[in-house]
Amino acid sequence: MYINSIRGVRDLLPEDVKKLRYIERICREIVEKYGFKEIILPTIENSVLYQHSVGETSDIVTKQMFEIVNKDEKDKKNIVLRPEGTAGIVRAFVEHNLKDKYPLKRFYYFGSMFRYERPQKGRFREFYQFGIEIFNEFSISSDLLLINIINEIFQNLKIEIILEINTIGCLECRKDFVNILKEKIKDFNIQLCNLCDERLKKNPLRIFDCKTDFPKLKEKLDDFNIQNYLCEKCKFNFQQILFGLSEQKINYIINPMLVRGLDYYNGFVFEYKTKLLDAAQNTLCAGGRYDSLITKFLSKDIPACGAALGIDRIMEVLEILEKEESFKVGISVVNETFLIKAFEILKMLSLKNKNIIFLGPFSKKSLKSQMRLLNNENCKYVLVVGEEVKDNNIVLKNFMNNTQQVVNLNKIEEYLKI
Ligand code: ATP
Ligand code: MG
Q: Is 284 in the pocket of ligand 1 (CB under 6 A)?
A: yes
Residue 211 lies in a domain: no
Residue 151 shares a structural domain with residue 26: yes
Residues 34 and 134 occupy one common structural domain: yes
3-state secondary structure of 396: strand
CB proximity list for 355: less than 8 A, separation 6 or greater: 327
C-alpha 146/C-alpha 151 separation (Å) is 8
With a 6 A CB cut-off, is 310 part of the ligand 1 pocket? yes
Looking from the CA of residue 59, the nearest atom of ligand 1 is 7
Q: Is 82 in the pocket of ligand 1 (CB under 6 A)?
A: no
Whether ligand 1 lies within 6 angstroms of the CB of 127 is answered as yes
Residues 344 and 256 in one domain: no
Spacing, Cα 202 to ligand 1 middle (Å) = 23
Residue 199's Cβ-count burial label (10 Å; 0-12, 13-18, 19+) is buried
Instruction: Give the pLDDT score at 356.
Output: 95
Ligand nearest to the CA of 116: 1
Q: How far is the C-alpha of 149 from the C-alpha of 153, rounded, in Å?
A: 6
Which of 317, 338, 364 marks a domain boundary?
Answer: 317
What is the model's pLDDT at position 13?
97
User: Is the CB of 54 inside a 6 Å radius of any atom of ligand 1?
Assistant: no
- Give the number of whichever ligand sits closest to the CA of residue 262: 1
pLDDT at 19: 96
Q: Is 86 in the pocket of ligand 1 (CB under 6 A)?
A: no
How confident is the model over 212-253, as pLDDT tens digits? 888 888 888 888 888 889 999 999 999 999 999 999 999 999
What pLDDT shows up at residue 76? 73
Is there a single domain that holds both residue 275 and residue 392? Answer: no
Q: Is ligand 1 within 6 A of the CB of residue 288?
A: no
- pLDDT of amino acid 216: 84
Atom of ligand 1 minimally distant from the CA of 280: 3
**209 within some domain:** no
Q: Indicate the top mutation candidate among 283, 284, 285, 317 to test ligand 1's pocket, ranked by most ligand atoms within 8 A of CB.
A: 283
70 and 164 co-located in one domain: yes
395: three-class secondary structure by DSSP: strand
Residue 117 lies in a domain: yes
Indicate which residue's Cα is closest to atom 9 of ligand 1. 286
The b/e string for 314-324 (b: 16+ C-beta within 10 A; e otherwise) is bbbbbeeeeee
228 secondary structure, DSSP code: G
Bridge partners (DSSP) of residue 49 are none
- Give the domain CATH number at 162: 3.30.930.10
Structural domain contains residue 100: yes
The CA 188 to ligand 2 mean position distance, Å, reads 26
Q: CB of 412 closer than 6 A to ligand 1?
A: no
Q: Among residues 296, 317, 338, which one ends one of the domains? A: 317
Distance between CA 131 and CA 84 in Å, rounded?
A: 9
Alpha-carbon torsion, ordered 30, 25, 89, 245, to 10 deg: 30
176: in domain: no
- Cα distance between residue 281 and residue 127, in whole Å: 13
160 & 260 share domain: yes
User: Residue 107 Cα, ligand 2 centroid: separation in angstroms?
Assistant: 23
Could you tell me if 312 and 265 lie in one domain? yes
Dump pLDDT digits (tens) for 373-410. Answer: 999 999 999 999 999 999 999 999 999 999 999 999 99
CA of residue 243 to ligand 2 center, whole Å? 30
Residue 214: per-residue pLDDT: 86
Atom of ligand 1 nearest to the CA of 285: 18
pLDDT of residue 376: 97
Q: Give me ligand 1 centre to Cα 311, in Å.
A: 10
Q: With a 6 A CB cut-off, is 397 part of the ligand 1 pocket? A: no
User: What 8-state DSSP symbol labels residue 375?
Assistant: H
Instruction: Tell me how far the alpha carbon of residue 310 lies from the centroid of ligand 1, in angstroms.
Output: 6
- Asked if 134 and 59 sit in the same domain, the reply is yes
- 103 and 163 share a domain? yes
Ligand 1 geometric centre to CA of 300 (Å): 30
- Of 297, 317, 337, the residue that ends a domain is 317
- Rounded to the nearest angstrom, the distance between the alpha carbon of 258 and the centre of ligand 2 is 14
- Whether ligand 1 lies within 6 angstroms of the CB of 115 is answered as yes
Q: Which of 110, 126, 129, 270 is the pocket-test mutation for ligand 1 (most atoms within 8 Å of CB)?
A: 129
Domain containing residue 341: CATH number: 3.40.50.800
> Same domain, yes or no, for 304 and 235?
yes
Considering every ligand atom, which ligand is closest to the CA of 120? 1
**Furthest CA-CA distance within the chain:** 94
Do the Cβ atoms of 115 and 65 come closer than 8 Å?
Answer: yes
Residues 193, 197, 199, 205: is their CA dihedral positive or negative?
Answer: positive
pLDDT < 70 stretches in the chain: 261, 418
3-state secondary structure of 405: strand
Task: State whether the beta carbon of 23 lies less than 6 angstroms from ligand 1.
Answer: no
Residue 294 and residue 304 in contact, taking contact as beta carbons nearer than 8 Å: yes
**The total number of structural domains that make up the chain:** 2
Please check whether residue 300 lies inside any domain of the structure.
yes
| Shared-domain flag, residues 304 and 352 | no
The answer to whether the beta carbons of residues 346 and 358 sit under 8 Å apart is: yes
Number of the ligand 1 atom closest to the C-alpha atom of 261: 6
Q: Is the CB of 123 under 6 A from ligand 1?
A: yes
Note whether 360 and 378 are within 8 A (CB).
no
Q: Would you state the pLDDT for residue 418?
A: 63
Residues 6+ apart with CB under 8 A from 394: 345, 383, 384, 385, 386, 388, 406, 407, 409, 412
- Give the C-alpha separation, 109 to 269, whole Å: 20
Given this model, what pLDDT does residue 364 score? 95
Q: Return d(Cα 174, Cα 160) in angstroms, integer.
A: 33
DSSP secondary structure code for residue 5 in this structure: P
Q: Could you list the residue range(s) of the whole structural domain that residue 377 is in?
A: 328-415
